[in-house]
């Protein structure tokens, strides 16, 4: 027994010695030898060392120090290593296409190397020498696991189909990764939407948000209650770790204090889910708009008769309430220069074209003429009650007729004054467009709308305040010299042009918005 104890303690001492040696795997010395810093090398971006020391995590400019130790990287043959983990929907087609587009634009060759189930890498090489400049390592898992990999320091970027949750924000802060729900810590790669689907033979063509929530909770379990046949409803959803499945809980079930029925049929991918619903005449599912396939999408309706369908324009303007931005979360740490160049590329025009060609909705603003507003003006006429309502309608038509609506819209988080995630991205996009001179010599009018609850005069004032808040946010994001070349103004029409019914929370949320119109 004593021999066993002695062997155990000897092994423990050897392990501690090895760990201590690893903890001092690099030493950084200033050129004059006056300063010396030892610690664990956490990363090197070709310019800066990131080292865990007894003083905490430090970032040191590589040009001013010499590195000694087994962990020191090569300065002449540096390869940027970028690890990306998370949503299969984002990582299957969209982000690889963006990596290839970035490589083409910056003159690299890109080679895809498959490394097993849902793992692959892109190797970017210099075209003339063939030397490797970067490796993008992909791990397709789920939004949940992507954030877990980031917290475990096994990923640099996270692909997500939902916004980061408060508990994940807190864990990231504790891990020194910054405030991940800040607009600077994420990129929206493209836009998608959660779409309810049925088999082509199903006679039901529309469903309300409340009915959809009740179906998911099992409170409605027969198609007869939705205008269909007298038959039970089967529900198909993605696996519970997926971003869309979690967004369904966050946006459809939890706000209504409902829980998911226990007999849901789960699927690993949108494609498999869509195919299963297409073959199930009594099934209903929720998939990404980009992967509806041959199933039939359901419109969203309400008791007032308004109907909303998911298409490119309604998703881009966020008029469709179940939009689902595709996020790339970026921690507050210094990434290699090539990775930073890639993140800058994601905001560019060519990246938006690639997103659209990949089957998703891009964020590039479009101008929609007054005669292409769909049912919006029909809705406005329907709710214009009495002389005051008709007067507001006439003023709105007079002002909007010479303008065009931008697909850039702004909405706020429920019960808050903070812009939602898609709108925060829109704010940055619009600010960059103004700085680029795209709207030089033109007038941008921020027009506020409200829901129909309360007095019309009060609604108009609230809508005007929202429009002014968005205008001021844009002005704060743009250099003053650029604002001299574009005219920014505000107006408001309150409840005059509803998008959805006011009898539900989601309908009121859709109606409370700030649109941008351009002359």
Number of domains, the chain:
3
88: nearest Cα among 62, 66, 118, 132? 118
10-residue averages of pLDDT along the chain (519 residues): 41 39 71 85 80 86 84 79 93 95 94 92 91 95 93 93 91 91 88 95 94 96 95 95 90 91 94 96 95 94 81 89 92 88 92 92 88 71 72 83 91 80 89 90 92 80 92 89 88 83 78 92
User: Are 291 and 377 members of one domain?
Assistant: no
Print the domain residue range for 285.
192-316
Residue range 176-214, pLDDT digits in tens: 899 998 888 988 999 999 999 999 999 999 999 999 999
| Distances from the Cα of 6 to the Cα of 14, 15, 37, 100, 392, angstroms | 12, 14, 36, 57, 89
Residue 24's pLDDT is what? 54
Classify residue 79: in a domain, yes or no: no
Classify residue 233: in a domain, yes or no: yes
User: Are 289 and 370 members of one domain?
Assistant: no
SS3 351: helix
- What's the whole-model pTM score? 0.79
Cα separation, 238 vs 271, whole angstroms: 10
User: Are 306 and 385 members of one domain?
Assistant: no
Classify residue 271: in a domain, yes or no: yes
User: Are 387 and 506 members of one domain?
Assistant: yes
362: nearest Cα among 342, 345, 341, 348? 348
CATH number of residue 225's parent domain: 3.40.190.10
Name residues whose C-beta falls within 8 Å of residue 148's C-beta, 6 or more positions apart in sequence. Answer: none
User: Are 310 and 383 members of one domain?
Assistant: no
Classify residue 409: in a domain, yes or no: yes
Classify residue 27: in a domain, yes or no: yes
User: Are 304 and 391 members of one domain?
Assistant: no
Residue range 394-438, pLDDT digits in tens: 888 888 889 999 999 999 887 677 888 889 889 988 998 999 889
User: Are 388 and 299 members of one domain?
Assistant: no
């Amino acid at each position: 027994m004593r021999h066993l104890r002695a062997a155990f303690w000897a092994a423990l001492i050897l392990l501690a010695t090895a760990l201590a040696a690893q903890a001092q795997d690099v030493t950084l010395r200033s050129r004059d030898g006056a300063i010396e810093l030892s610690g664990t090398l956490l990363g090197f971006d070709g310019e800066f060392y990131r080292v865990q020391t007894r003083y905490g995590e430090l970032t040191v400019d590589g040009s001013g120090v010499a590195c000694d130790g087994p962990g020191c990287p090569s300065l002449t043959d540096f390869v940027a290593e970028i690890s990306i983990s998370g949503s299969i929907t984002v990582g299957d087609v969209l982000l690889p296409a963006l990596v290839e587009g970035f490589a083409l634009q910056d003159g690299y060759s890109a080679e895809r190397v498959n490394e097993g189930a849902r793992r692959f890498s892109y190797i970017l090489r210099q075209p003339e020498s063939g030397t490797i400049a970067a490796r993008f390592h992909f791990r397709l898992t789920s939004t949940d696991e992507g954030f877990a990999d980031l917290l475990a320091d096994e990923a640099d970027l996270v692909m997500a189909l939902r916004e980061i949750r408060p508990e994940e924000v807190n864990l990231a802060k504790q891990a020194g990764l910054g405030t991940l729900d800040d607009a600077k810590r994420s990129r929206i790669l493209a836009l998608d939407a959660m779409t309810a689907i049925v088999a082509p033979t199903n006679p039901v063509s529309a469903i309300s948000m409340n009915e959809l929530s009740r179906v998911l909770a099992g409170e409605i379990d027969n198609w007869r209650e939705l205008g269909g046949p007298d038959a039970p409803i089967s529900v198909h959803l993605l696996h519970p770790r997926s971003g869309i499945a979690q967004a369904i809980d966050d946006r459809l079930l939890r706000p209504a204090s409902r829980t998911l029925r226990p007999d849901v049929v789960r699927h690993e991918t949108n494609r498999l889910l869509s195919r299963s619903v297409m073959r199930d005449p009594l099934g209903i599912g929720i998939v990404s708009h980009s992967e509806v396939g041959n199933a039939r999408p359901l419109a969203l309706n309400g008791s007032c008769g308004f109907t909303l369908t998911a298409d490119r324009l309604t998703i881009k303007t966020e008029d469709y309430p179940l939009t689902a931005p595709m996020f790339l979360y970026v921690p507050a740490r210094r990434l290699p220069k090539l990775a930073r160049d890639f993140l800058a590329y994601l905001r560019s025009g060519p990246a938006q074209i690639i997103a659209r060609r990949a089957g998703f909705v891009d964020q590039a603003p479009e101008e929609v003429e007054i005669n292409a507003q769909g049912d919006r003006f029909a809705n406005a006429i329907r709710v214009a009650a009495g002389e005051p309502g008709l007067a507001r309608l006439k003023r709105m038509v007079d002002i909007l007729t010479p303008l065009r609506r931008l697909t850039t819209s702004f909405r706020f988080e429920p019960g808050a004054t903070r812009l939602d995630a898609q709108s925060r991205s829109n704010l940055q996009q619009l600010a960059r467009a103004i700085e680029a001179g795209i709207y030089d010599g033109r007038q941008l009018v921020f027009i506020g709308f409200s829901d129909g609850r309360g007095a019309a005069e009060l609604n108009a004032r609230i809508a005007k305040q929202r429009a002014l808040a968005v205008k001021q946010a844009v002005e704060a994001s743009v250099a003053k010299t650029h604002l001299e070349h574009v005219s920014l103004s505000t107006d408001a029409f309150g409840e005059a042009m509803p998008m959805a019914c006011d009898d539900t929370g989601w309908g009121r949320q859709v109606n409370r918005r700030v649109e941008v119109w351009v002359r």
